[in-house]
């Protein structure tokens, strides 16, 4: 296996020297509607389709059925990939209370996508389930969308730092390349708590410029990688995300 993990996102691997460094964690930051979910899921889908690297998607906020529907618009059939045991969705969105049947007790992770009860929403459990699910399908990639939803679990920055360090550590020792998504206010800052960028191996920032009707992507940090610090134009089309030269 090469020491890079190709994202498969057109234009991005070129500016990353072939992809993300292997078994490292990347923080993907941006304000609302900047394309974070699209980019991260494209990374998972491309991993499966182009590189035979299965993936796990943890949705902390958005309902998994809604994500499946949204991603079909880009031509990405998550359901099919799930049926082929190449993708597992772990839905911990708290919004489904009382609406759906839950898998209430999970001694071990099942081979297929599942939802967690609100009462089961604890940080170590999520990390353990991701790792167990990844083992089931031999996943190499994981996406967590998005970290601020974990705030209900950790009340201060020290514990958020500890939580992220532990999550990153577990993912790494299990050979997983991760994208952790975070939300930042327009313009300023890289992360919500100001600690996420330090515990990640790479930081990518996506932005929109409403006045110019343009989007950019910036590699703010990428350990063991030579890269430009300039923002680069990004486009979202029906095929997903494309980074312009
Ligand atoms: N088919 C498409 N063609 C062009 N642009 C699209 C298309 N589908 C979605 N978009 C753009 O992508 C944006 C949503 O992308 P995405 O959901 O990945 O962003 P996000 O950063 O995850 O948003 P949020 O902060 O709400 O989670 C939309 O606001 C829209 O501008
Ligand atoms: Mg999103």
Ligand 1 neighbour 36 (Cβ under 6 A): yes
CA distance 8 to 162: 31
Backbone angles phi, psi at 217, to 5 degrees: -130, 140
pLDDT of residue 244: 94
The terminus-to-terminus CA distance of the chain in angstroms comes to 27
Please state the three-class secondary structure of 157-224 as a single string: HHHHHHHHHHHHHHHHHCCCEEEEEEECCCCCCCCCCCCHHHHCCEEEEEEEECCCCEEEEEEEEECC
Ligand nearest to the Cα of 70, by number: 1
CATH number of the domain to which 24 belongs: 3.40.50.300
Q: How many domains does the chain have?
A: 1
* Cβ of residue 75 lying under 6 Å from some atom of ligand 1: no
Please tell me the pTM assigned to this model.
Answer: 0.93
The pLDDT value recorded for residue 125 is 78
Task: Decide the pairing of beta strands 25-30 and 177-183.
Answer: parallel
Q: Do 216 and 233 contact (CB within 8 A), yes or no?
A: yes
Question: Would you say the CB of residue 32 lies under 6 angstroms from ligand 1?
Answer: yes
- Give residue 107 CA to ligand 1 midpoint distance, Å: 36
Which residues of the chain form beta strands (DSSP E)?
4-5, 20-21, 25-30, 55-59, 87-91, 114-115, 141-145, 177-183, 202-209, 214-222, 232-237, 240-243
Q: Helix, strand, or coil here: 9? A: coil
CA of 30 to the centre of ligand 2 (A): 9
The contacts of residue 159 (CB under 8 Å, 6+ apart) are none
Question: Which atom of ligand 1 is found nearest the CA of 39?
Answer: 18
Q: Is the CB of 30 under 6 A from ligand 1?
A: yes
Range(s) of the domain holding residue 95: 4-243
Q: What is the mean pLDDT of each run of 10 residues along the chain (245 residues)?
A: 93 97 96 97 98 96 92 98 96 57 55 72 81 96 90 70 90 97 80 84 95 96 96 98 92
């Amino acid at each position: 296996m090469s020491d890079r993990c190709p994202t498969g996102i057109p234009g991005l691997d070129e500016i990353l020297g072939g992809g993300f460094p292997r078994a490292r964690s990347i923080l993907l930051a941006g304000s609302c509607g900047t394309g974070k979910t699209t980019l991260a899921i494209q990374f998972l889908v491309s991993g499966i389709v182009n590189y035979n690297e299965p993936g796990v998607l943890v949705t902390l906020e958005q309902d998994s059925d809604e994500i499946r529907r949204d991603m079909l618009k880009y031509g990405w059939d998550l359901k099919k990939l799930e049926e082929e045991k190449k993708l597992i969705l772990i839905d911990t969105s708290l919004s489904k209370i009382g609406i759906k049947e839950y898998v209430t007790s999970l001694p071990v992770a099942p081979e297929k996508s599942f939802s967690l009860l609100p009462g089961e929403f604890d940080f170590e459990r999520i990390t353990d389930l991701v790792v167990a699910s990844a083992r089931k399908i031999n996943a190499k990639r994981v996406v967590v969308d998005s970290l601020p939803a974990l705030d209900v679990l950790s009340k201060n920055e020290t514990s958020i730092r500890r939580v992220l360090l532990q999550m990153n550590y577990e993912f790494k020792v299990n050979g997983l390349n991760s994208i952790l998504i975070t939300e930042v206010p327009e313009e300023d800052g890289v992360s919500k708590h100001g600690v996420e960028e330090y515990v990640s191996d790479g930081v990518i920032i996506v932005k929109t410029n409403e006045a110019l009707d343009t989007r950019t992507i910036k590699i703010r940090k990428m350990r063991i990688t030579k890269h430009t610090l300039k923002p680069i134009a990004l486009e979202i089309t029906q095929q997903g995300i494309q980074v312009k030269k």
